[in-house]
């Protein structure tokens, strides 16, 4: 069983954290992952920086630009991660835009992911249809789960299509927005969370975008298996570095 | 072989819609409706009437006598520079604003580099009474002050793109992000034949009036619809898409695409995408683009802001790959010289983008009886400062 699938079967709400590889410093990647696991995080999304991250707001954009200036590349990231499975056991997901993957070679990229112990991929600009027709067989061959995003505007038919070809979780984007553009949820969003929960999909849902603190984390996990925090974490490491990540995760995880 | 888009949105291996799920409903709504709307008799009538009475079409096909004499061939200029607002850009914005109204959109966004497409969008938004927000790189705002003022005077809000290199590529990213954040009431008017399907095809269709007119105009003066060569400059590729459109499947018409070599193709300051680019994904489509080995999109350079784009539309990538079009690169210096030459031989000051197309006569020779049509895509008023600095006028 894939580590993501095993984690999803645990009887708890999951906290997933996104960070940009190579940020704030080029060689922070491994320590960030280790410190997040030590501090109770259930799953990690490792962001592969891209020059033109269309779905991201200013915070993640700035961290990507800095990571690229620091010298981060696909090759270097795989190199940094080569021994990660000696020390880290929680699921690791690589999140990146399609073009760097395409240049690396999709098959070579997937093979490398498997070698270092990546469990799944999130590729915001790879549409589900193209994935299904051209790349699913490759992902399957290397044991990688592809995670699809849905939004409040995604039709039920389309959600069911994604559900039918997923074996992990569905990434619910909390509102129609880029990352980091809001905080907390109103009635419109909780209605949407309920609507999706009522679909009784095969794959559990994890909510992302707009989650920054204990309150929004609890709101989201009332309706979903877990929640993902990205921009708020990037802001934290920008201000405080990566040594004391407990100060970020403890308030989130308190009962 | 077809050079038009297929039912899946591809030109050969190029095109498609590589977009985040957040954009899917907007793009899908457009995909399902654009051909239907464009075929409606009411839409056609309104589009044609505005092109005639507001834009000033048909634009003349002018036989450039002195230029022809100098290069010993028959050169015709398709005078898009005479369109309202000074370039071909408005053919597309008129079409898209009518599309937006039929899709009941209330708010228009656009990206702009030098400001020509921004001005053309602000103009049609004023005409239609719709809110208009134009994203423009912070650096471009500083160097294109007159066009920023024009957009403001037309009632548009100009928002600086502060990310990345703060130029056209980043303005496009910001416009796409705006669309993600405003998925219901907003239409994005892309200015070039780029972006996710159906944009490249829709923009090409709105610009196709250029080759449609050329056909009957050439028939009147030359007794034949088809020139031997159709020449256009290519940045993203909207003017070339329109100039080629009705000739794509006419093998007797040779297509020439002129790209900006900047300071020289291999100087590191160039925008010659066909030579320097590799297949990749930019702004929602698979096409040729300039990038690092790691797949990061790089910054192009050209003296002409309109050609200063790291990609090229998927239709053009396919024309390059299949060799249907010949791609020629022209440096800043060659273009500027050609712009000055047209000014003094024909009394027409061209946009610097267009000057690139005019520069091919120095290197490529044509026969005396051959008919060469150049898409004179825009006028040079917006470029006066650059001409002044370059020639110390």
Q: Do A54 and B280 touch (CB under 8 A)?
A: no
pLDDT in tens, B333-366: 999 999 999 999 999 999 999 999 999 999 999 9
* Closest-approach residue (CA) in chain B for A155: B25
Instruction: Please compute the mean of the pLDDT values over residues A163-186 and round it to a whole number.
Output: 87
What pLDDT score was predicted for residue A176? Answer: 78
Catalytic residue check, B250? no
Q: What is the pLDDT of residues B267-318, one digit of tens each?
A: 999 999 999 999 999 999 999 999 999 999 998 999 998 898 999 999 999 9
Q: Tell me which residue has tokens 């060569």.
A: B229
Determine contact: A69 vs chain B, CB below 8 A.
no
Q: Is A65 on the interface with B (CB under 8 A)?
A: yes
Euclidean distance between CA atoms B374 and B38, whole angstroms: 27
Q: Using pLDDT thresholds of 50, 70 and 90, give the confidence band for residue A1.
A: confident
Distance between A87 CA and the closest CA of chain B, angstroms: 28
Q: What is the ipTM of this complex?
A: 0.94
Q: How many CB atoms lie within 10 A of CB A246?
A: 14
pLDDT at A183 over 70: no
pLDDT at B159 over 70: yes
In angstroms, the CA A155 to CA A178 distance is: 19
The chain B residue lying nearest A76, using CA atoms, is B294
* Token reading at B235: 């940045």
Angle at B301 between CA B296 and CA B306, to 5 degrees: 105
Count helices and strands in chain A by DSSP H and E runs: 14, 9
Q: How far is CA B370 from the centre of its chain?
A: 26
**Mean pLDDT of chain B, nearest integer:** 96
Say which range, A176-190, B33-47, B290-304, has the weakest mean pLDDT: A176-190
CA distances from A69 to A78, B105, B189, B310 (A): 18, 40, 32, 19
**Which residue ranges make up each domain of chain A?**
3-7+13-253
Comparing A24-33, B164-173, B223-232, which segment has the lowest mean pLDDT?
B164-173
Amino acid A175: pLDDT: 85
Is pLDDT at B164 greater than 80 in this prediction? no
Which chain B residues are within 8 Å of A173, Cβ to Cβ? Answer: 21-22
Of A55-59, B139-143, B376-380, give the range with the top mean pLDDT: B376-380
Domains in chain B with CATH codes: 11-50+89-202 (3.40.50.1100), 56-87+208-391 (3.40.50.1100)
What's the pLDDT tens digit per position in A113-125? 999 999 999 999 9
Confidence (pTM):
0.96
Taking CA–CA distances from A176, the nearest residue in chain B reads B181
Residues of A serving a catalytic function are 45, 56
Q: Are B27 and B33 in contact (CB under 8 A)?
A: no
Fold of A3-7+13-253: TIM Barrel (3.20.20)
Choose, from B74, B89, B105, B286, the residue flagged as catalytic.
Answer: B89
- What is the spatial distance between Cα B100 and Cα B107, in angstroms, rounded to a whole number? 9
pLDDT band at A245 (very low <50, low <70, confident <90, very high): very high
C-alpha to C-alpha distance for B359 and B94, rounded to whole angstroms: 30
**Cβ separation of A65 and B296 shorter than 8 Å?**
no
Is the distance from CB of A169 to CB of A206 less than 8 angstroms? yes
Residue in the structure block whose two tokens are 């300051």: B269
3-state helix, strand, coil in chain A (%, to 5): 50, 15, 35
**Which residues from B are below 8 Å from A149, CB to CB?**
20-22
Confidence of residue A184 (pLDDT cuts 50, 70, 90): confident
Q: Who contacts B145 (Cβ-Cβ below 8 Å, separation ≥6)?
A: none
Buried b (16+ CB within 10 A) or exposed e, B312-329: bbbbbbbbbbeebbbbbb
> For residue B13, which residues of chain A lie inside 8 Å, CB to CB?
none
Q: Cα–Cα distance between B393 and A166 in angstroms, integer?
A: 65
More confident residue, A181 or A188: A188
Q: pLDDT > 70: what percent of chain A? A: 99
């Amino acid at each position: 069983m894939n580590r993501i699938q095993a984690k999803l079967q645990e009887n708890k709400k999951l906290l997933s954290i996104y960070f940009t590889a190579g940020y704030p410093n080029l060689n922070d990647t491994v320590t960030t992952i280790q410190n997040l696991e030590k501090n109770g995080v259930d799953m990690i999304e490792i962001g592969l920086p891209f020059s033109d991250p269309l779905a991201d707001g200013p915070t993640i954009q700035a961290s990507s630009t800095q990571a690229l200036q620091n010298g981060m590349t696909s090759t270097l990231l795989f190199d940094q991660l080569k021994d990660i499975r000696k020390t880290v056991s929680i699921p690791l997901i690589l999140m990146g835009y399609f073009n760097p993957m395409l240049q690396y070679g999709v098959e070579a990229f997937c093979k490398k992911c498997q070698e270092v112990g990546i469990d799944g991929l999130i590729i915001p600009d790879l549409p589900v249809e193209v994935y299904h027709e051209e790349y699913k067989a490759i992902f399957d061959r290397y044991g990688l789960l592809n995670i699809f995003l849905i939004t409040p505007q995604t039709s039920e038919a389309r959600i069911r299509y994604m559900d039918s070809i997923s074996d992990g979780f569905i990434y619910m984007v909390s509102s129609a927005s880029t990352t980091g553009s809001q905080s907390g949820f109103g009635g419109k969003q909780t209605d949407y969370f309920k609507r999706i929960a009522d679909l009784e999909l095969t794959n559990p849902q994890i909510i992302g975008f707009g989650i920054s603190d204990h309150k929004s984390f609890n709101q989201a996990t009332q309706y979903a298996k877990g929640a993902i925090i990205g921009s708020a974490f990037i802001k934290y490491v920008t201000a405080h570095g990566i040594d004391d990540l407990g100060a970020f995760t403890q308030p989130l995880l308190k009962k | 072989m077809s050079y038009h888009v297929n039912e899946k949105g591809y030109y050969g291996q190029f095109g498609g819609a590589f977009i985040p799920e957040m954009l899917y409903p907007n793009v899908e709504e457009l995909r399902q409706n654009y051909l239907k709307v464009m075929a409606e008799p009411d839409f056609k009538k309104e589009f044609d009437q505005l092109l005639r009475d507001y834009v000033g079409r048909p634009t003349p096909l002018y036989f450039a006598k002195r230029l022809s004499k100098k290069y010993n061939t028959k050169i015709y200029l398709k005078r898009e520079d005479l369109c309202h607002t000074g370039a071909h850009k408005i053919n597309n914005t008129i079409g898209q604003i009518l599309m937006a109204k039929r899709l009941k959109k209330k708010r228009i966004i656009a990206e702009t580099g030098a400001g020509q497409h921004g001005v053309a969008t602000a103009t049609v938004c004023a005409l239609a009474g719709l809110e208009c927000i134009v994203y423009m790189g912070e650096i471009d705002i500083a160097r294109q002050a007159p066009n920023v003022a024009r957009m403001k005077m037309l009632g548009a809000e100009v928002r600086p793109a502060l990310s990345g290199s703060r130029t056209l590529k980043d303005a496009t990213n910001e416009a796409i992000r705006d669309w993600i954040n405003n998925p219901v009431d907003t239409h994005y008017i892309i200015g070039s034949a780029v972006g996710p399907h159906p944009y490249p095809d829709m923009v090409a269709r709105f610009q196709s009036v250029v080759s449609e007119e050329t056909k009957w105009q050439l028939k009147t003066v030359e007794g034949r619809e088809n020139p031997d060569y159709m020449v256009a400059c290519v940045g993203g590729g909207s003017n070339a898409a329109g100039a080629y459109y009705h000739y794509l499947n006419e093998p007797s018409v040779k297509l020439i695409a002129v790209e900006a070599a900047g300071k020289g193709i291999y100087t590191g300051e160039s925008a010659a995408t066909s030579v320097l680019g590799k297949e990749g994904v930019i702004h929602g489509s698979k096409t040729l683009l300039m990038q690092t080995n790691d797949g990061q999109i790089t910054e192009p350079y050209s003296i002409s802001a309109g050609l200063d784009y790291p990609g090229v539309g998927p239709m053009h990538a396919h024309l390059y790959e299949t060799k249907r079009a010949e791609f020629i690169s022209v440096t800043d210096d060659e273009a500027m010289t050609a712009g000055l030459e047209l000014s003094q031989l024909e009394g027409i000051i061209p946009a610097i983008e267009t000057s690139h197309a005019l520069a091919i006569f120095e290197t490529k020779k044509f026969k005396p009886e051959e008919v060469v049509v150049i898409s004179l895509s825009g006028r040079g008023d917006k470029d006066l400062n650059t001409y002044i600095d370059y020639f110390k006028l």
